Amino acid sequence: MFAIAKMLMAWAALVICMTVQAQAQYDPLASDIFTLPDDMRKTSSLDTQIVYFDPYADPLGIDPLMRPLDTEHTAEYLDKISGREYLGPFVPVQEDLRGNWRLDLLGGMPGKVDLLLVQNRDAVFGRGTLSLAGTINDVSASGWTAKDVLYLDLFNALDLILYRCTLTMSRDYLSGSFNAYDAQGRAWSGTIQGGRPA
């Protein structure tokens, strides 16, 4: 009986020792957290090789991640020293969409749209009128171009109808399709085509 008690005591001591060691390994607040490498708390100047060491820096902070960017390796800097022009995301549009346009809506509710469009890079916007079922309403236009496609939204503010158009551009001619949405939750689609009035 004494041997069993002695074995149980040894087993309990072994389990406690292993548990304490395992907790120290996984405890983020254990004493070994303060033995981080020194370079985690160092900052350096971009202009000189002086290294500043802050002994009061928070070892769990994100200060090393918040350093300013190295200006000698940015795209703008490399473009300047290489003589290249800065290449932005803007790709020049082939077609000039500025001016007056007359478009025919074909489908469930046929109509005509007369628009005055302006263009600034790939942004296209303007205003006009929509003739639909004997009524004429003002519409606003807003959209953008990508390669040879014009994505144009026509909005009738009086009746709260949105015409979302996808048009292929070809010199003085536009053709494509539209999806229309009204305030009552109805939706319909059709085709749209037209060009510059003579």
pLDDT score at 51:
55
Tens of pLDDT, residue by residue over 47-97, are 555 555 566 666 666 665 565 555 555 666 556 655 555 444 445 556 789
Residue 4 has pLDDT above 50, yes or no: yes
What is residue 67's DSSP assignment?
P
**Cβ contact 176:166 at 8 Å:** yes
- With cut-offs at 50, 70 and 90, classify the pLDDT of residue 12: confident
pLDDT score at 18:
67
- With cut-offs at 50, 70 and 90, classify the pLDDT of residue 117: very high
Domain residue spans in the chain? 1-33, 36-88, 99-195
CATH superfamily membership of 99-195: Quinohemoprotein amine dehydrogenase alpha subunit, domain 2 (2.40.128.120)
Give the dihedral sign, CA 89/93/98/103.
negative
pLDDT score at 82:
58
Does an H or E element contain 177, and which?
Answer: strand 173-182
pLDDT score at 65:
58
164: tokens are 């979302």
- Count CB-CB contacts under 10 A for residue 157: 10
3-state secondary structure of 72: helix
Q: Find the mean pLDDT for residues 15-39.
A: 55
**Cβ contact 118:125 at 8 Å:** yes
